[in-house]
Amino acid sequence: MKVIVLGGDGFCGWPTSIHLSHLGHEVTIADNLSRRNIDNELGVNSLTPITPIQTRIAAWKEISGRQIGFRFLDVARDYDGLLQLLKDQEPDALVHFAKLPSAPYSMKSGRHKRYTVDNNLNATHNLLCAVVESGLDVHVVHLGSMGVYGYGGTGVKIPEGYLSVRASDGQGGWVEREILHPTNPGSIYHLTKTHDQLFFAYYNKNDGLRITDLHQGIVWGTNIPETLRDERLINRFDYDGDYGTVLNRLLMQAAVGHPLTVYGTGGQTRAFIHIQDTVRCIALALNNPPANGDRVSIFNQMTETHRIRDLAKMVAELTGAQITHLPNPRIEAEENELFAENKHLLALGLEPIRLSTALMQEVTQIALRYRARCDVSKIPATSRWRQDNHAQSRGVEASQGLVSGGKRPV
């Protein structure tokens, strides 16, 4: 299959690209390398020593004999370039990762909010519009987020995208329908993900586009078997307060002897998936496209749920690290339940990697191995969801000595 991976230089995009190439697909990456520029803006580096995209691709060719194409392209701004890429490649499928994916980054300031909205909405809309204008029959696979459902804890098991409802017809009878599950975004980034759903529903209805929207949980882990074949292929690992996903942050904190920082009570429940399962799910989605005329396929791409304080406890038990609770910079429920369906991808053959079996590997192979590259000053969260909880949280971090880092390694 010919596949274009938009955002193929990123944390999920790079392992997906080489996994698909390993499976025999013909892969072209399109990326504007904005993620690398954001590292420069924030003054941080991936904990793992990632190489430039050109080096990654050359190393993969050397090791596997397979060629991955690369086009430097801003999907949100260069519509003509995107359309030309489609015409040149005539792909069977597009995998869409080209987004600003960090909730804290999207909340940093007015500029960051506006950038997130401009980038994410235009990227998705340009892509859909270009597929229609190209006249090609392309299966679009998008990486969405479980965050679109929100974490309100409604007591309802979250279905895969569509909710069955029963409403009065106003004449004493009832009408039954399946509707898109109501959204409840918790950040500007998540807000853009909720808009994506409407773009997909519209282009599916109006133009018959075949679309799979994967509502992904928080990704943990770093490598897949293909990225382990040579250090030049290594995937990125973010541990900083803006981009580090919660489990990776906790692992890194343990490795450098920093207390494990849990926001609020840590009673927030979130959905998780290992990066190896992410790439497998995408391969499964590509092999099982919706038929012409089908509505948008929505799968919940997550394999387990945990409360944040339980994750911290798990990491503390593995490593001997201490746990500290900080004021929550986010505006969110202190405690929530999260029950979600994920039967579609399991039915397609996904066999999940569990936290309980693979967590220690991540501590030793990544966090401990590369801890000398960690800049502990980048660990604290600096984004605040509202300016009025800013001063309070920073003050607590400073008074607890958390900004300079601890001493006791794991």
Residues that bind ligand NAD (CB under 6 A): 7, 9-13, 31-35, 73-76, 97-99, 101, 119, 123, 143, 145, 216, 218-219, 245
| Shortest reach from residue 7's CB to ligand NAD, in Å | 3
Kindly state the smallest distance separating residue 167's Cβ from ligand NAD, in Å.
Answer: 31
In the complex, minimum distance from the CB of residue 301 to ligand NAD, in angstroms, rounded to a whole number:
8
Q: What is the dihedral of CA 304, 310, 315, 316, to 10 degrees?
A: -170
Nearer to ligand NAD, 10 or 161 (CB): 10
3-state secondary structure 273-314: EEHHHHHHHHHHHHHCCCCCCCCCEEEEECCEEEEHHHHHHH
Q: How far apart are CA 37 and CA 43, in angstroms?
A: 10
Nearer to ligand NAD, 33 or 403 (CB): 33
Structure tokens at 305: 């749920």
Complex with ligand NAD: residue 79 or 162, whichever CB lies closer: 79
Give 146 or 410: the residue with its C-beta nearer to ligand NAD: 146
Q: Tokens 């235009």 sit at which residue?
A: 122
Q: Which is nearer to ligand NAD, 196 or 397 (CB)?
A: 196
8 vs 266, which CB is nearer to ligand NAD? 8
Nearer to ligand NAD, 160 or 397 (CB): 160
Distance, CA of 241 to CA of 249 (rounded, Å): 8
Residue nearest to ligand NAD (CB): 10
Distance CA 150, CA 128 (A): 25
Least distance in Å: CB of 240 to ligand NAD? 13
Long-range contacts of 63-66 (CB under 8 A, 24+ apart): 63/229, 63/230, 63/233, 64/18, 64/21, 64/22, 64/226, 64/229, 66/21, 66/22
- Shortest distance (Å) from residue 219 CB to ligand NAD: 3
Q: How far is the CB of 177 from ligand NAD (least distance, A)?
A: 28
Give 281 or 410: the residue with its C-beta nearer to ligand NAD.
281
Q: How far is the CB of 72 from ligand NAD (least distance, A)?
A: 9
The minimum distance between CB 387 and ligand NAD, in angstroms, equals: 25
**CB of residue 285 to ligand NAD, shortest distance in Å:** 13
For residue 6, what are the contacts with CB-CB under 8 A and spacing of at least 6? Answer: 13, 30, 31, 75, 94, 95, 96, 97, 98, 123, 127
CB nearer to ligand NAD: give 270 or 394: 270
- List C-alpha distances in Å: 365 to 59, 256, 297, 328, 361: 21, 14, 36, 30, 6
* Listed residue (51, 62, 67, 63) closest to 17, CA to CA: 67
